[in-house]
Structure 1
Amino acid sequence: MMIGWLLTTEMSVQAQSRPTAHITVDGRQLFELSEAGQFSAENRAGDANLILREAVRSPGGVKVEIVETNQLPVILVNNRHLLTVTQQDTFTGRTKQEQAEIWAQRIREAVKQGQEERRLDYFWRAILVVALSVLGAIALHFLLGWVGRYWLRRLVPREANHPETGAQPKGIELFLQLTLVVVRSLLWIGIAIYITDLFPLTREWSRSIANILWMSLTSPVITIGESSYSVINIIIFISLLFGVLAIAGTLTNLLRSRVLRMTNVSRGVQESIAIAIYYSLIFIGTVLLLQIWGLDISSLAIVASVFGVAIGFGLQGVAKELVSGFVITFERAIEIGDFVQVGEFMGTVERLNARSTYLRTLDDIVVIVPNSRFLDTEVVNWNHQTSACRLVLPIRVAYGVSINTIRSALLEVALKNTDILKKPHPTVWFQGYGEDFLNFQLLVWISKPRKQFQIKSDLYFQIDEILRQKNINIPFPQRSLHLRTGSLPLELSPQLENSLSQLSEGLINLLKSQLHKDSANDANNSSAKTQSEKSDSQ
């Protein structure tokens, strides 16, 4: 099939020397014609292709013969003049008669094949081939997917994305996925071209489209310096660049998991070395690739300056994050596994990237924090240069208990907790006397800052239990109110005294009159009762 698309060596040599046109049968290129006298190559090929198209569609046999006219061989098809073989059509080392015989044989074979392809039995065989080709392409499609996943598991380490290693195999994953997409696309394009090439009616279209695609891919589209590059060249260059990224990522992961983990250096130093080697390999590989590709590095100075301006204006945020990432990596103020607090986020550092840092919070949520946040704001690193951190638990106790008893109870709780370090030893501080409480602080050291809130909660539960066992009360706010009795000296004005005396006399007189009325009523009631008793006795 590729032989039909591409020209033979003879045709290529001829095309380089003079203008030519193709003689085709059902889209198959047989040979090329050159201009002859006043007839151009296109006119000669157009007339010949029309005669061959009518001949291949005829139901009967086709007669191809060579006659000599004016000492020039003439090819006849069904007694019709097809073309005259001139000296311009003849290649070096051949006579005109030999060239005519070669072309006549090609025409016989092409016409015979075209007539056979128009038969019904060939059509059904082609349909069967199409069905088998499609099924085979589907099977190969899924096989490529399985192979891609297999190599992805082989090339990407198992500890990738693990917080202990911080592996970052994104480059190789992307390279394998893009490779799989390209291979699958080429598979289906090839199957489509192969299927359309089976039928005479679609062969010419498929080969025309294939030629257009081939010319589009091979024609120069970019010129850098003295070199020109086509689409295929660019695709190959990008593939090789992804290959450099994949190789750099694989070597870095192997170095991180097989070599650096055997050393006694901290994980932050390991990550710093791995990142430095990763970007160094990418830089060296890219420079070597550009030189092998024929690019003059000095000619890229203008492009580099433009790119620098773009970074200064449009990509300054990204550049800021990259620089911040390098500062954090080489200063080693924050390392993988540290428990840090930056702004409102608190969690364990799982990965240090060039642009961002991954924190796993206490809610088991991964927060991606830009690296510049660690340089612009205050950061609390609970694990910086030491694995121990201190917890302070304020405790208030009511009056009436010995402070030594309270100290012993708190230390007993701290020493029984397995999450508390024995060294430094837990300590109890007596802060002083409050209004209605004794103020203490329990100081303990832990090695797992991520569990600090859980450890605090456990300690408070245990402290409450032991205080209840020892009858030690937890104070609550109290207030006492004392009332005092006695006479108060008052000074009144004469007018107020007269008014009060008159008011009191009036009240006294009113009470007296009311008492006389009540006594008179009682007397009347008693006499009436006596008379009623006498009448009852009678």
Structure 2
Amino acid sequence: MKFVSFVRVRIFRTLVLAFTVGCLLAVLPSLAQSNSNQSNSNQSNFNQTNSTASIMLDGRKIFEVTPSEQYSAQERAEYVNQVLQEQVKTAESPISVEIKDQQKIPVIEINGQHLVSVTSEDTPAGRTTQEQAEFWRKKLQTVIQKAQYERTPMYLIQAIVISMACVLLAIALSWVLGKLWCNWLKPQLEKDAAESAPLEGAKQPNSPKIAGQFLLGLIRCAIWIYALIYITNQFRQTRQLSRIVTDTLITSLTSDLIPLGDNSYSVLNLLILTGLFVGLILLAKVIKQGLRSRVLRFTGLSRSSQETIAVILNYAFIFITSLVLLQLWGLDISSLTVFAGVLGVGIGLGLQGIAKEFISGLVLIFERPIQVGDFVDVGGLMGTVEYINVRSTEVKTLDDITIIIPNSKFLESEVLNWSHHSSVSRLKIPVGVAYGSNLTTVRSALIDAAKEHTDVLVQPTPRVFFKGFGDSSLDFDLLVWISEPRKQFQIKSDLYFRIEVILRHRGVEIPFPQRDLHVRSGSLPVDISPQLVESLAQLSQSLAKWLDQQPTANPPQDGNGHK
């Protein structure tokens, strides 16, 4: 049941990811193809956009005006905005907005004061100036009523209550998302990883967990950004600033800033393209795992061959789909020739190390001097090869520590591969016994100890060699063959334990280092000069005279007066 559940989850994830990428491939390229047309239309409307100015009241955009014969659009907008602000501040009663004709030109007046004249340039096609004036009048009336209401204490209390409710709602949503992550999604991801680990034979990476935490953080940030924008729009003092920040952010994301080839792309387009590439890489990873665990496993190939095929297909899929994606996105690949030339120069100068590791990785993948699953010794680091990438190789040591080794080290230094072509390898167990031991007993004891171990192969049979006479022992080598090089240290330890027990049981002594020191008596011929003999004689006479001149001390007496 666990296997079926695991397969269902994997298939569901694969289908969802494939559907998402397919939708992006179907929708986003059309958006990219329209970039050029949109940029052209934006360019054609650039002068028109810059020739208009917005009429604003308390941060709300009402309409836009165009230049007249006497004034520019900015001058007209500044005058209208100033009049609106003064009328809203000073007027206590409702403000009247009326339309009057002056020389056949509709003029909008506010409380009898001239506000703006509606010209033919302000009127779009299919509408008269009178209709445009009436349209502006209604919008002005609505916005002015809102502005007057926002200056009342009742609205201020209402805005504060709404803002506090918005903050509380954002806190509640963040808390609910955290609870859903901790109590449902995170345990489910850990359960899936635990169930899939035995099937794939390796510890699963925690990339889904990291991706989930990152997505949770993005959702929380979006909630608080939206709450902040909504709160600032409730107050007229901050609405203008909020609008400026929002418009600047949207403009910076959607404006065509980066030219590539014949088209120009915005930051948002590049972000979407980057997300699409990430989706393709994730899809390639899912396909690679599916090939390795669902298809190649049943082909009967070795683990190293399966890994090689999966890696080659993975990089081929990424390369081909990247080219197709760039073409569908509207980016001319031929426009990247200059970039390719610069990249080639960078590889030749500053990226020599990366290029060296990349080429070494290709040599390892295709020539296969080492393969996934081999037990190797590289510079004193012993472990099992887990993955061979184009830049580095992952080796898991006997301490279950993963070490990342550059690929060039496998080609430039000596590598001891215990599993190359065959996993059967020979172990040498040196043993020393005391002089005078029965050699036949020693040989049979070593052979018996080897045959009793379950990891020692029956064929080839264990063998014993008499190396020679050592300083303190008779030296032997026990040769055994094993099929699991990774367990060689454990096998050696087990054999030594068993050898010691058998030798002690059969009366064979294992010696310790000994050294014999022989000392012989005799006289040493010493030649002394006459001057030295004369000096020693004079010194002896002087010492004797000095002792004679010293007073003799009274000897101690006992209680009876005897000395």
Aligned-partner residue type, residue 153 of structure 1 = L
Query: What TM-score do the two structures reach when normalised by structure 1?
Result: 0.80
Deviates more, 1:19-28 or 1:352-361: 352-361
Report if the CA contact (8 A) 1:55-1:111 is conserved.
no
Q: 1:385 aligns with which of 421, 430, 453?
A: 421
**Superposition map of 1:457-472 within 5 A:** 457-472=493-508
User: SS in structure 1 opposite 2:99?
Assistant: strand
1:165-220, Cα deviation, whole Å (9 max, x unpaired):
587786x7777666655554444333322221111111111112212222222222
- The aligned residue for residue 65 of structure 2 is 33
Aligned-partner residue type, residue 164 of structure 1 = G
- Separation in 2 of the partners of 1:83 and 1:153? 63
- The aligned residue for residue 88 of structure 2 is 56
1:90-109, Cα deviation, whole Å (9 max, x unpaired):
22222222221111111111
Q: 2:130 aligns with which of 80, 93, 97?
A: 97
- Separation in 1 of the partners of 2:282 and 2:206? 8
1:216-261, Cα deviation, whole Å (9 max, x unpaired):
2222221122111111111111111111111111211222222222
- The aligned residue for residue 227 of structure 2 is 191
- Separation in 2 of the partners of 1:320 and 1:160? 34
Q: 1:69 aligns with which of 94, 102, 106?
A: 102
Q: Return the offset for 1:65.
A: 1.2
Q: 1:214 aligns with which of 250, 270, 293?
A: 250
- Separation in 2 of the partners of 1:212 and 1:258? 50
Deviates more, 1:311-320 or 1:177-186: 177-186
Q: 1:449 to 1:362 in 2, by over 3 A?
A: same
- Separation in 2 of the partners of 1:437 and 1:154? 58
Report if the CA contact (8 A) 2:189-2:209 is conserved.
no
The answer to whether the aligner puts 1:122 opposite 2:155 as a matched pair is yes
Q: 1:421 aligns with which of 435, 457, 461?
A: 457
- The aligned residue for residue 3 of structure 2 is none
- The aligned residue for residue 330 of structure 2 is 294
- Separation in 1 of the partners of 2:177 and 2:124? 46
1:392-412, Cα deviation, whole Å (9 max, x unpaired):
112223343443222211111
- Separation in 1 of the partners of 2:254 and 2:506? 91
Deviates more, 1:381-390 or 1:430-439: 430-439
The answer to whether the aligner puts 1:324 opposite 2:360 as a matched pair is yes
- Separation in 2 of the partners of 1:356 and 1:323? 11
- Separation in 2 of the partners of 1:313 and 1:13? 46
Name the % identity: 46
The answer to whether the aligner puts 1:164 opposite 2:196 as a matched pair is no
Report if the CA contact (8 A) 1:73-1:97 is conserved.
yes
Report if the CA contact (8 A) 1:75-1:82 is conserved.
yes
Aligned-partner residue type, residue 131 of structure 1 = M
- The aligned residue for residue 353 of structure 1 is 389
Q: How many residues align?
A: 475
- The aligned residue for residue 304 of structure 2 is 268
Q: Return the offset for 1:18.
A: 8.3
Aligned-partner residue type, residue 321 of structure 2 = G
**Superposition map of 1:310-459 within 5 A:** 310-433=346-469, 437-459=473-495
Aligned-partner residue type, residue 279 of structure 1 = Y
Report if the CA contact (8 A) 1:157-1:253 is conserved.
no
Q: 1:291 to 1:326 in 2, by over 3 A?
A: same
- The aligned residue for residue 505 of structure 1 is none
Q: 1:135 to 1:252 in 2, by over 3 A?
A: farther
Q: 2:55 aligns with which of 17, 23, 26?
A: 23
Tell which structure's C-alpha radius of gyration is larger: 1
- Separation in 2 of the partners of 1:325 and 1:155? 34
Query: What TM-score do the two structures reach when normalised by structure 2?
Result: 0.76
Aligned-partner residue type, residue 135 of structure 1 = L
- Separation in 2 of the partners of 1:154 and 1:467? 52
Aligned-partner residue type, residue 57 of structure 2 = V
Deviates more, 1:66-75 or 1:141-150: 141-150
Deviates more, 1:150-159 or 1:199-208: 150-159
Q: 1:14 to 1:386 in 2, by over 3 A?
A: closer
- The aligned residue for residue 83 of structure 1 is 116
Q: Return the offset for 1:430.
A: 2.8
Aligned-partner residue type, residue 445 of structure 1 = W
1:20-57, Cα deviation, whole Å (9 max, x unpaired):
22112211111111222212222222111111112223
Q: 1:238 aligns with which of 261, 274, 285?
A: 274
- Separation in 1 of the partners of 2:497 and 2:181? 57
Aligned-partner residue type, residue 159 of structure 2 = A
- Separation in 2 of the partners of 1:77 and 1:271? 79
- Separation in 1 of the partners of 2:313 and 2:191? 18
Aligned-partner residue type, residue 366 of structure 1 = T
Deviates more, 1:241-250 or 1:187-196: 187-196
- Separation in 1 of the partners of 2:254 and 2:262? 17
CA RMSD of superposed structures (Å): 3.3
Aligned-partner residue type, residue 252 of structure 2 = S
- Separation in 1 of the partners of 2:45 and 2:131? 18
User: SS in structure 1 opposite 2:54?
Assistant: strand
- The aligned residue for residue 258 of structure 1 is 294
Structure number with the bigger relative contact order (C-alpha 8 A, sep ≥ 6) is: 2
- Separation in 2 of the partners of 1:314 and 1:398? 64
Aligned-partner residue type, residue 465 of structure 2 = W
Report if the CA contact (8 A) 1:388-1:445 is conserved.
yes
- Separation in 2 of the partners of 1:14 and 1:373? 59
The answer to whether the aligner puts 1:42 opposite 2:78 as a matched pair is no
- Separation in 2 of the partners of 1:390 and 1:298? 58
Unaligned stretches of 5+ residues in structure 2: 1-43, 523-563
User: SS in structure 2 opposite 1:351?
Assistant: strand
Aligned-partner residue type, residue 64 of structure 2 = E
Unaligned stretches of 5+ residues in structure 1: 1-11, 486-538
- Separation in 2 of the partners of 1:250 and 1:94? 58
- Separation in 1 of the partners of 2:494 and 2:127? 102
1:465-516, Cα deviation, whole Å (9 max, x unpaired):
221222222345465969899xxxxxxxxxxxxxxxxxxxxxxxxxxxxxxx
Deviates more, 1:340-349 or 1:419-428: 419-428
Aligned-partner residue type, residue 32 of structure 1 = E
- Separation in 2 of the partners of 1:327 and 1:153? 37
User: SS in structure 2 opposite 1:359?
Assistant: strand
Report if the CA contact (8 A) 1:22-1:33 is conserved.
yes
1:294-329, Cα deviation, whole Å (9 max, x unpaired):
111011001011011111111111121122222222
Q: 1:452 to 1:188 in 2, by over 3 A?
A: same
